[in-house]
Structure 1
Amino acid sequence: MDSPDLLARLRRERLVAIVRGSDAEAALRTVLALAEEGVFLIEVSLNTDEALGVIARAARELAPGTALGAGTVLTADDVHAAAEAGARWMVTPAVAESVGVAADAGLPVLAGAFTPTEAVAAVRAGADAVKLFPASAGGPSYLKALRDPLPEVPFVPVGGVDAAVARDYLAAGATAVGVGSPLVGDAAHGGDLGALRARAREFIAVCAEDAQP
């Protein structure tokens, strides 16, 4: 997947699932269950137990339509290790060295930023979209205020995004939303996959509302 593909996928799917867990086997099952339910942009955080192994195994088992990314990517070493494991795009929590390294390697990047200055810096460093993080500190009204001077920046709010708030962010102009625990729950720690699947269907339905074809 190249950079235009990531942005197109974000605009079409409007949902990024963030998997972070303390149990590698459970994290892998979570990734596969999400894909089976129709969540096709999935980020595995590098602070997941045995994260690179989870990414490698998921990359082998997922259908071609699923775009598997790596999250919490901070350093050049993180970029190279995640890409070697099979991650096709990178997610950072901040405007770190990893943004430029990934962009130089031709890997799409969703870069973390919160302020207008950080958002502009992320785009200049090579980010394809900006992960508004922690989005809960500002809420949908803050996103709307950011978009007034920066209408061309694709924002993906992350942090505290439940299904109702996801709807509000999308209405405020978010390109997509990134969702961790409100979607994944305890599944990546060995919890209930059935509940995970139900939440996935709910988020997919919310993100499909008024979506552009």
Structure 2
Amino acid sequence: MTGETAASRPALPTLTRDGRLVVVARAQRAEDYDRVLDVLVDAGVRSVEVTLTTPGTFERLPALIERYRGTADIGVGTVTSTDQLQRAIDAGAPYVVTPVTSAELVETAVAAGLPIVPGGLTPTELFASWSRGAAAVKVFPAGQVSAGYAKDLRGPFPDIRVVPSGGVDLDGARAWLEAGAVAVSVGGPLLGDAFAGGDLGALRERTVRFVEVCAGGPAS
């Protein structure tokens, strides 16, 4: 990594960085976001990744960003093309996430000053994105490795910022953070059936536990 790359690396937004928890909201319809995100944010979540696998996400995005402005970052996930990336930039997304290792996506985002978190699993994939100026790298699918992988990566890459994603439950969140991850990306283990009409009170209880763990508090 050159000094020039380090200096130009867009940083994760403050709310995301301080909260250390990104909730991946993969809904069936964009109209379902508000009722679930209201509970998440009220319970202390400071960063939500809305995904492009949900129809209507781009159309709903500006309203979501405004609704939670100053309280939670609303990033865009599952970005896999430069057209999608440009739409996220135009909408004012505070960060974007991609499941792939793509030099073009990273370089385009960095040139625009937009923090990007690209996915990868091998050291080669992760360092390729990090060296091009990614804000952090997403270890995906994290369920295929242990939390100790974060420590292993910092051997050859001491300054790399890791965010595990995919199969991270409550115990996993604690383990990854203790191993040096800068944040954890969580979906199903926290959301459960919330987007399928599930109990929002139960969602709040799960959310509070995750927020506490990511803040360094108790697991139960």
Q: TM-score, normalised on structure 1? A: 0.90
Letter of the aligned partner of 1:109 in structure 2?
I
Q: Which residue of 2 aligns with 1:58?
A: 64
Q: Is the 8 A contact 1:70 1:90 kept in 2?
A: yes
Q: Which residue of 1 aligns with 2:137?
A: 130
Task: Choose from 197, 200, 208 the match for 1:193.
Answer: 200
Cα 1:186/1:85, change in 2 over 3 Å: farther
Q: Which residue of 1 aligns with 2:6?
A: none
Q: Which residue of 2 aligns with 1:20?
A: 26
Q: Which residue of 2 aligns with 1:170?
A: 177
Letter of the aligned partner of 1:173 in structure 2?
G
Q: Which runs of 4+ in 1 moved over 6 A?
A: none
Task: Choose from 66, 73, 80 the match for 1:74.
Answer: 80
1:188 aligns to what SS in structure 2?
A: helix
User: Is 1:98 paired with 2:105?
Assistant: yes
2:131 aligns to what SS in structure 1?
A: helix
- For residues 139-198 of structure 1, the C-alpha deviation after alignment (integer angstroms, 9 at most, x for no partner) is 212222222222210100111001111111111111110101111222233333222211
User: Is 1:37 paired with 2:32?
Assistant: no
2:24 aligns to what SS in structure 1?
A: strand
- For residues 34-79 of structure 1, the C-alpha deviation after alignment (integer angstroms, 9 at most, x for no partner) is 1121111111011113111232221121132311100011111111
Q: Which residue of 1 aligns with 2:91?
A: 85
CA distance in 1, matches of 2:213, 2:36: 20
CA distance in 2, matches of 1:147, 1:9: 24
Cα 1:67/1:188, change in 2 over 3 Å: same
* Cα-Cα RMSD: 1.8
Q: TM-score, normalised on structure 2? A: 0.87
Q: Which residue of 2 aligns with 1:117?
A: 124
1:64 aligns to what SS in structure 2?
A: coil
Letter of the aligned partner of 1:167 in structure 2?
R
Q: Work out the percentage of aligned pairs sharing the same amino acid.
A: 42
Structure 2: gaps spanning 5 or more residues: 1-8
Q: Which residue of 1 aligns with 2:212?
A: 205
